[in-house]
């Protein structure tokens, strides 16, 4: 009774996110179109603002309280930034201002502890970009173009594309490393899905490692991290570590798998997660990490609601981005030893499965390799990653790229890596963390790759 009253009061707001019966839609339509016209008029000029918007940290004490909080989350279609884990029910939840009062009241009734975790999201977004820094060294002629790219900012897709092309040019004059750019697909909005292959270029095929970033639009640290890896690997001519890695493996790196969503999160809505396909009903986007085809099932951690942030898509591989990964990997998986997909946030190194709490038969191999990597990672700045299967440490969600890479493409070491932080900034990680995050992640990758190159499979 009480719940339905709250729901009715906020119906106006929830219509944006939820499916409504037809008669309600008819009532809402005219005002919707008006709002849409106004919104679209300014959206092109200014991204949405989040002044005073809050992220709550909610701590239910018991499983009952947890269930009640999760029910609340469904009711209000709340955006859970960090999910509760086994034995630690604490979670971060973004609450739009319109929903704040009723959500706080309901949480009080439930009895869960609530803290205002982020008080003003816009302030964080404003602080995300650091003031421009002065360039300290003058790059050599051959490095000039590639060096003009600033790895320590959150770059726009056009600049990233230019950088990838410059890396190809740069390596043409290097004898020890070769880079080539492959378009593995085109998005709904006609952006290119690009993959850089980095290898020794001596004509010898090596086992390969596939790395992607940016499946989720708002997780900006992920593309930045993969770009950092590219920067380091291209040093393979001069740097010892990178050199070892190029001796052992061919590298496939796709830093921005979801360019449509990535750009939208820059231009319109910082917290966008999905791609940007038009679903009708004024709703856009499929969650690409619910769209892969190994035991695809919207009922497990996804949704059939086209407006949901975790909409699984019409069917497995309905999306250009997931299909691009599928076909590239199936054509190149002969000796592919690892699939690494970078996300944020939470500082976790996750392995399959996401669709079930059961573990892969060889889970101990994945577990120990991940622990080797994360313990090397922690040596640098003390960042402690949690290692485990995604269902067991996080939550179950079917349709993830990691499950597919292992289950269908047969890539043994398949991981989802949730980068920094653990919630202080969440998705809105400041640019000054790109470097330390990149350094520690590179260290983990190096140690992982070297350990895989010495184990027998
Ligand atoms: O829910 C996800 O897609 C990932 N977390 S995120 O906060 N970056 O959205 C975790 C995916 C773990 N893997 C699977 N569930 N298969
Ligand atoms: Zn399968
Ligand atoms: Zn993600």
Answer yes or no: is pLDDT of 139 > 70: no
Burial (CB < 10 A; 0-12, 13-18, 19+), residue 196, is: buried
Answer yes or no: is pLDDT of 215 > 70: yes
Last residue of a domain, one of 96, 128, 160: 128
Verify whether ligand 1 is closer than 6 Å to residue 58 (CB atom): no
Verify whether ligand 1 is closer than 6 Å to residue 289 (CB atom): yes
pLDDT at 15: 31
Q: Are residues 120 and 17 in the same domain?
A: no
Which residue is associated with the tokens 């593995």?
184
Confidence of residue 306 (pLDDT cuts 50, 70, 90): very high
Atom of ligand 1 nearest to the CA of 401: 16
Q: Are strands 250-254 and 192-199 parallel, antiparallel or unpaired?
A: antiparallel
- CA pair distance 110, 87, nearest whole angstrom: 19
First to last CA, the chain: 58
Q: Are residues 82 and 124 in the same domain?
A: yes
Confidence of residue 74 (pLDDT cuts 50, 70, 90): confident
The ligand with the least distance to the CA atom of 295 is 2
Atom of ligand 1 nearest to the CA of 350: 12
Tell me how far CA of residue 188 lies from CA of 282, 285, 320, in angstroms.
16, 10, 7
Query: How many helices (H) does the chain have, and how many strands (E)?
Result: 16, 12
Answer yes or no: is pLDDT of 136 > 90: no
- CA pair distance 63, 266, nearest whole angstrom: 38
Residues with CB under 5 A from ligand 3 (ion): 216, 219, 343
Q: Are residues 172 and 96 in the same domain?
A: no
SS (H, E, C) 399-417: CCHHHHHHHCCCCCEEEEE
Q: Can you give the CATH number for the domain in which 262 is found? A: 3.40.630.10
- CA pair distance 177, 402, nearest whole angstrom: 28
Within-domain flag for 288: yes
pLDDT at 402: 98
Q: Are residues 267 and 368 in the same domain?
A: yes
How far away, in angstroms, is 195 Cα from ligand 2 center? 24
Q: Are residues 111 and 34 in the same domain?
A: no
Give me the catalytic one of 418, 431, 439, 440: 418
Confidence of residue 42 (pLDDT cuts 50, 70, 90): very low
Answer yes or no: is pLDDT of 85 > 90: no
Within-domain flag for 134: no
Q: Are residues 38 and 79 in the same domain?
A: no
Note down the domain range covering 162. Answer: 141-453
Max avg pLDDT among 119-128, 137-146, 334-343: 334-343
How far away, in angstroms, is 443 Cα from ligand 1 center? 23
Structure tokens at 57: 């940290």
Within-domain flag for 133: no
Q: Are residues 207 and 176 in the same domain?
A: yes
Q: Are residues 170 and 294 in the same domain?
A: yes
Last residue of a domain, one of 102, 128, 154: 128
Alpha carbon 138 to its chain centroid, in Å, reads 33
- CA pair distance 208, 104, nearest whole angstrom: 50
Q: Are residues 241 and 108 in the same domain?
A: no
pLDDT tens digits for range 226-251? 999 999 999 866 678 899 999 999 99
Q: Are residues 329 and 292 in the same domain?
A: yes
pLDDT at 46: 85
Structure tokens at 190: 């006609």
Domain count, the chain: 3
Is the pLDDT higher at 410 or at 17?
A: 410
pLDDT at 137: 57
Confidence of residue 423 (pLDDT cuts 50, 70, 90): very high
């Amino acid at each position: 009774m009480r719940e339905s009253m709250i729901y009715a009061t906020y119906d106006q707001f929830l219509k944006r996110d939820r499916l409504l019966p037809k008669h309600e839609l008819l009532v809402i339509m005219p005002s919707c179109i008006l709002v849409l016209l106004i919104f679209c008029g300014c959206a092109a000029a200014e991204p949405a603002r989040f002044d005073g918007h809050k992220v709550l940290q909610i701590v239910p004490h018991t499983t009952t309280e947890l269930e009640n909080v999760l029910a609340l989350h469904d009711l209000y279609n709340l955006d859970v930034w960090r999910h509760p884990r086994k034995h630690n029910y604490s979670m971060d939840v973004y609450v739009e201002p319109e929903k704040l009062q009723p959500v706080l009241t309901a949480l009080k009734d439930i009895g869960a502890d609530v803290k205002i975790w982020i008080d003003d999201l816009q302030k964080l977004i404003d602080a995300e970009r650091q003031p421009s820094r002065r360039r300290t060294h003058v790059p050599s002629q051959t490095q000039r173009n590639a060096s003009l790219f600033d790895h320590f900012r959150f770059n726009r897709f056009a600049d990233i594309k230019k950088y990838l092309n410059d890396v190809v040019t740069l390596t043409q004059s290097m004898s020890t490393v070769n880079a080539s750019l492959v378009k593995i697909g085109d998005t709904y909005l006609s952006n290119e899905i690009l993959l850089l292959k980095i290898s020794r270029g001596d004509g010898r095929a090596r086992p390969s490692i596939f790395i992607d970033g940016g499946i989720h639009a708002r997780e900006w640290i992920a593309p930045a991290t993969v770009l950092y890896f590219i920067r380091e690997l291209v040093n393979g001519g001069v740097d010892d570590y990178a050199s070892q890695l190029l001796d052992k493996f061919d590298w496939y790196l796709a830093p921005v798998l979801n360019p449509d969503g990535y750009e939208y999160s820059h231009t319109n809505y910082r917290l966008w997660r999905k791609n940007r396909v038009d679903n009708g009903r004024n709703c856009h986007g499929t969650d690409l990490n619910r769209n892969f085809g190994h035991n695809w099932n919207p009922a497990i951690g996804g949704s059939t609601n086209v407006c949901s942030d975790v909409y699984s898509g019409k069917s497995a591989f309905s999306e250009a981005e997931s299909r691009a990964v599928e076909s590239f990997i199936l054509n190149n998986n002969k000796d592919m030893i690892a699939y690494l997909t970078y996300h944020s946030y939470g500082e976790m190194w996750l392995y399959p499965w996401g669709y079930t709490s059961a573990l892969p038969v060889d889970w101990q191999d994945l577990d120990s390799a991940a622990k080797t990597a994360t313990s090397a990672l922690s040596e640098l700045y003390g960042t402690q990653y949690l290692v485990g299967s995604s269902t067991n440490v996080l939550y179950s969600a079917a349709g993830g790229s990691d499950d597919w890479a292992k289950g269908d493409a047969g890539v043994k070491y398949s991981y989802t890596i949730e980068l920094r932080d653990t919630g202080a900034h969440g998705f809105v990680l400041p640019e000054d963390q790109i470097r330390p995050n990149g350094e520690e992640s590179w260290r983990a990758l190096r140690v992982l790759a070297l350990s895989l190159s010495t184990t027998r499979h």
